[in-house]
Amino acid sequence: MGEMDDRIAQLEAATRAVQERLQHIERRLAALEPGGRSQTVASQDGRSGEAAAEPAGGRTSDLVTILSLAGRSLIVLGGAYLLRALTEAGALPPLAGSLLALAYALTWLFGAGRSAARGLSESATFHGLTASAIGFPLVWETTVRFGFFGPTGSAMALGALTGCALFVAWRWPQRALAWTATLAALMTSLVLVPATNAPLPYAVVLVLLGIATLWLGYVRDWRALRWPVAVLADIAAIGLVTRALTETPRESPEAVLAFLLLLLGSYLASIGVRTLIKGRNVIAFEVVQTAAALVVSLWGLASILRVTGLEGRWFGAGFLCLGVASYAVSLAFVDRRQGRGANFYFYTTLALVFTVVGTTLVLPTSGVAVVCALLGVAATAAGGRLGRWALEAHAAVYLLVASVASGLFGDAARSLLGSDVAALRLPGPSGLASMACLTVAVLWAVSGRGGAVVQWARPARLLILALFLWCAGGAVVHVAKLGLSGAFNREVATAELALVRTVVVAATALILALLASRLRVVEAGWLVYPVLLLGGIKVLQDLRTLRPSLLVITLAAYGAALILAPRWLRGRSPSAAGERSV
C-alpha cells in the first residue's frame, strides 16, 4: 500500500511538471505573436504583472519575433529558389516554372492580407516584402533572361502583380506594402524599358499605377505615394513623343497620341469624380499634375500633328466640347453649389485652355482670330455683369490670341518699332475684326456698362487697355504714314516716321491722363508714367537721329506731355468712389 502511494505521488509530481512545462511553452508561443495572448496566459497562472515588471524581456520578445519572421521569409525565398532550380534542371517546363513562381509570389502576397486581417502587422509586412522580392525580379528575369514574355506580356504581368499588391494594401491598410510595391514597380519598369526598347507598354502601366496611387491618396490619405508615379508618367510621355518625332519613328504616332489622351483623360476623369461628384476642393497635386499633363499632352499633340500631317480637326472638336462642358460645369454647377472657390477657377481655366486649343485645331488662322475676338467681347460683358473676374481674365487672353492670330499685334510692332518703312501694311479682315472687338471691350467698361469694379479684375482690364493702345498706336502710325505719303507724293522717310511715333507716344500719355482724371478709369492712370518713360527713351533716340527741324516738333510734343499728363493725373479725385475700370 505504501508503494502504491509513492507511485501516485510520483505521477502527481510528474503531472505538475508537465503542466508547468506546457504553461511555459504557451507563454513562449504567445510572446512570438505580436499583440498575442501573453497577458491572457499570465493571468491564468496568476502572474499577470510579470511582463510589466520585465521591460527587457519585452524587448527580447520583439527581437525574437523579428528574427523569427526574418527566418520564415528566408525559408519562403528558399521555396522560390527551389522552383527555379527545378526549372533549370528541366524537371519543370520553363514557362510552367515561371508561372508557378509568380503564383507562389501572389500566394505570399495575399498571405500578407490575411496576416493584416488578424492584426499581425509585422507578419504582414514581412510577407509583403518577401512577395515583392520574389515577384518583381521574376518579371524582369522572365522577360530579359528567359524571353518568355514580350514587352506587352511583361507589362501586363507587372501591372497585375502591382495591382494585386496595391489591392491588398488598400483592403487591409498596409502603407509599407503600398510603398514597396510602387517603388518596385517603378524600378522594374525603368530597367525593362532599355532592355526591351519598347517603352509604350510600360508607360501605360505607369499611367494606370498613377491613377491607382491617386485614389489611394483619396481613400487612405497616402498622399506622397502619387507624386513619383505622376512624375515618371509625364517623363514617359515626353520620351514617347520624342521617339515618335524622329526621322524614322520608333513609336507609332497614332499610338503615342492615344497614350497622351489616356494620360490626360484618366487624371482629369479622376479629379472630376472627386471634385464634382464628391464635392471636394481641388488640391495642390491635382493642379500641378493637371498642368503638367496638359502641357505635355498639348505639346506632344501639336508636335506630332505638325510633323506627320495627321488630321487634327477631330482632336480640336473634342477639345472644344471639353471647353464648352468645362464652362457649363463651372458656371452652372460649381458656381451655384460650391461657390467661387478653387474648383471654380480650376474648371474655368480648363475651359479657357480647351477652347483656345480646340479653336486653333479646327479653324484656320483667320477664323481663330475672329472667333477669339468675339469670345473676348462676350467674356468682357459676362465678367462685368456677373462680377466674375476670372471671365475678364479670359477676355484678355482671348483678345490677345485674336490680335496675334490676325497679325494685328505684329503689324503694330512693325509700325511702332520697325525700321523698314516699306514693310508697313494695312491689317486684313481678321485684323480689323480683332481691332473692332478690342475697341468694343474697352468702350464697354469706359461707358460704365461693365458693372461694379472687381479688384481682381483690374490686371486683366489693364492688359486689355494696354493691348488696345498698342494695336491702336500701330494703326495710327500706319495711317499717318499713308497720309504723309499722299500729301508729299513720296515715300515717308525713316526720320519722319520716327517723329510720328514720338508724337503718338506723347498723345497716348495725354489720353491716358484724361481717362484717369475725367472718366475715373483706374488702369489708365497706372499706364501714364510707363508711357512717359517709353517716350523719354524714344526722345533720346531721336536726339541722335533726327535733324533739328524735326527735333523741334519731337521735343515740343514730349515736353507738353511731361507738363500736362502729371497735372491732369494729380487732379484726379483721390477717392475711389465712382471710379470705373476698363
- What the block records as the C-alpha cell of 218 is 483619396
Q: Which of 38, 43, 45 is nearest to 60 (CA)?
A: 38
Residue whose C-alpha cell is 524537371: 91
Residues ≥6 apart with Cβ < 8 Å to 212: 162, 163, 166
| Confidence at residue 41, expressed as pLDDT on a 0 to 100 scale | 40
| Confidence at residue 383, expressed as pLDDT on a 0 to 100 scale | 84
Task: Determine the 3-state secondary structure of 250 from DSSP.
Answer: coil
| Confidence at residue 166, expressed as pLDDT on a 0 to 100 scale | 95
Torsion of CA 529, 532, 536, 539, to 10 degrees: 180
DSSP secondary structure code for residue 449 in this structure: T
3-class DSSP string for 293-325: HHHHHHHHHHHHHHHHCCCCHHHHHHHHHHHHH
- What the block records as the C-alpha cell of 204 is 501605360
Q: In this structure, are residues 279 and 338 in contact, taking their beta carbons and an 8 Å threshold? A: yes
Backbone angles phi, psi at 450, to 5 degrees: -75, -5
Q: Measured in whole angstroms, how far is the alpha carbon of residue 359 from the centre of its chain?
A: 22
Residues ≥6 apart with Cβ < 8 Å to 335: 344, 388
Instruction: State the alpha helices, DSSP H only, in 329-428.
Output: 335-337, 342-362, 365-386, 389-405, 408-417
Instruction: State the alpha helices, DSSP H only, in 142-283.
Output: 151-171, 175-196, 199-220, 226-244, 253-272
| Confidence at residue 480, expressed as pLDDT on a 0 to 100 scale | 86
Could you tell me the residue ranges of all domains in the chain?
A: 455-570
Give the CA diameter of the chain: 153
Distance CA 168, CA 184 (A): 16
Q: Which of 238, 213, 239, 240 is nearest to 224 (CA)?
A: 213
Q: Which of 72, 128, 138, 70 is nearest to 103 (CA)?
A: 138
Q: Which residue type does 56 have?
A: A
Q: Which of 214, 111, 106 is nearest to 162 (CA)?
A: 106
Q: Which residue type does 529 have?
A: Y
Q: In this structure, are residues 355 and 375 in contact, taking their beta carbons and an 8 Å threshold? A: yes
| Confidence at residue 421, expressed as pLDDT on a 0 to 100 scale | 63
Which residues of the chain are modeled with pLDDT < 50? Answer: 4, 7-8, 11, 14, 18, 22, 29, 33-58, 573-577
Q: Which of 449, 550, 437 is nearest to 497 (CA)?
A: 550
Distance CA 177, CA 125 (A): 7
H-helix or E-strand spanning residue 516: helix 494-518
